Amino acid sequence: MFNKKLFPLFVLTAAVTLSGCGSKKESEPEPVIPETEMIFETNEVSESEEELEPITPADYLVKDVSQYVTLGSLDNLSATQNVYDVTDELLQERIEEELYMYSEDVEAEKVSEGSTVYADITYSVEGSEDPESTESTYLTIGDEDYGAEFDAQLIGKTVGDELSFSISYDEDVWYEEWIDQTVNFKVTVTGIYDTVVPEYDEKFVTENTEYASKEEYEESLSATMEEEYAQEGYSEAIDSLFQSVMDNSTFNGYPEDLYTECENESISYYGQFLGTDDRDEILEALGLTTEDLEAEVLDSVNLRLTICAICEAQGLEVSEDDYISEVTESAATYGYLSPVEYEEVNGRENIVWSLYQNKVAEFLYDKAEITPVEASVDDLYGDEFIEVETEEETFGADEIYAAELETEE
């Protein structure tokens, strides 16, 4: 029931990873092209008698693609590539996030700012004929899940305290039924926890990281952040190049099975965050119409048709060895027991399409005129959210990224 935020499905860059690109013209500034080194702890792939079944990646491409798309010119392509500066402020914010990972929740006597409060909350809209609703939930004081006035009512309370109060909401409330309404609350506090974050000092670094000093740790963390932001800039440039090609191409229908595949992927993508695979529930939670979903799916379809057409026109291929290498390396990187398990979880079709998309992305990037532009990290996700009404946990940019990684693992 909280006002949550989810990434929309980015059909152009979602599957793009990096495996190296060609150099740009010597007279131009050199855009940063990040390496594909992973920063996650991994498990060794187990020795298994299971082997990947033979595969011919080209079988997954759309046949006779020219009947569905006529490519525009691939000459004179250009794109800007945002270059994000890792400032001292950003570094300190990341250090705080790292410290929080080692934090500990301890029971507290009283509710204070920042406390996590577990409570049974009963609420009803004054004058409404709807019955009272009760939920056992938790909230962090200061996040204002139910508003600043609600949080203020809990400050100083102890476990077992029972409260009754009313709040008159305005148009800023996240729950539509509460706009310009007075809501009556009954709250029983069932648990109070404060988060204790360790102090950032040399002892923390030597005991919890592989580094011998704060200086070494910060240098490594800064390098990691630079790599992450370089990946963002590259992905944005690729997004722009794909969009330019699609805008200059003509599309004439699509294979029905391709449309169905892309639609299922869209539903699955959103469903992993909403905890459901029901199409109607997902559309309702996202506030999308059937037409909105159809437009999004059509973008995915046209992207894949574009990929197929470029591969055909330029002779770009993904070999069986490329596929095996990708699956084997990804299985090790993400801690799967074997390449076979990685393949079963992620699906052959998805892996193949990702490889072809990367192949075309590299081709377009290498061919295009890329202009690096300084950009602010504050604007990185500024317009890339949509409002979602759900009772599940809040998701922001970092949480979505982490959730996607967990899904892969």
Q: 104-196 in CATH: which number?
A: 3.10.50.40
Q: What is the pLDDT of residue 381?
A: 62
Q: What is the pLDDT of residue 269?
A: 86
Three-state DSSP class for residue 196: strand
d(CA 282, CA 284) in angstroms, rounded, equals 5
Per-position pLDDT tens, the chain of length 409: 322 222 333 344 444 443 333 333 333 344 444 443 333 344 444 444 578 999 999 999 999 999 999 999 999 999 999 999 999 999 999 999 999 999 999 999 999 999 999 999 999 999 888 889 999 999 999 999 999 999 999 999 999 999 999 999 998 888 888 999 999 999 999 999 999 999 999 999 999 999 999 999 999 999 999 999 999 999 999 999 999 999 999 999 999 999 999 999 889 888 888 888 899 998 888 888 999 999 999 999 999 999 999 999 999 999 999 999 999 999 999 999 999 999 999 899 999 999 999 999 999 999 999 999 999 888 776 544 444 444 444 444 344 344 444 444 4
Number of Cβ atoms within 10 Å of the Cβ of 101 = 9
The domain covering 2-99+207-408 belongs, at the CATH homologous superfamily level, to Trigger factor, C-terminal domain (1.10.3120.10)
d(CA 292, CA 298) in angstroms, rounded, equals 10
Whether 21 and 231 have beta carbons less than 8 Å apart is answered as no
Number of Cβ atoms within 10 Å of the Cβ of 289 = 10
Q: Please, which residues bridge with residue 119 across strands?
A: 137, 189
Tell me the Ramachandran region of residue 315: left when phi exceeds 0, alpha when psi lies from -120 to 50, beta otherwise. left
Sort strands 182-196 and 162-168 into parallel, antiparallel or unpaired.
antiparallel
d(CA 178, CA 150) in angstroms, rounded, equals 14
Strand positions, DSSP E, 238-368? 250-251
Three-state DSSP class for residue 355: helix
Cα-trace Rg, the chain: 25
Which residue intervals of the chain bear CATH 1.10.3120.10?
A: 2-99+207-408
Q: What is the pLDDT of residue 195?
A: 93
Closest CA to 262 of 344, 353, 348: 353
- Does this model's pTM top 0.85? no
Three-state DSSP class for residue 190: strand
Whether 181 and 210 have beta carbons less than 8 Å apart is answered as no
Which residue intervals of the chain bear CATH 3.10.50.40?
A: 104-196
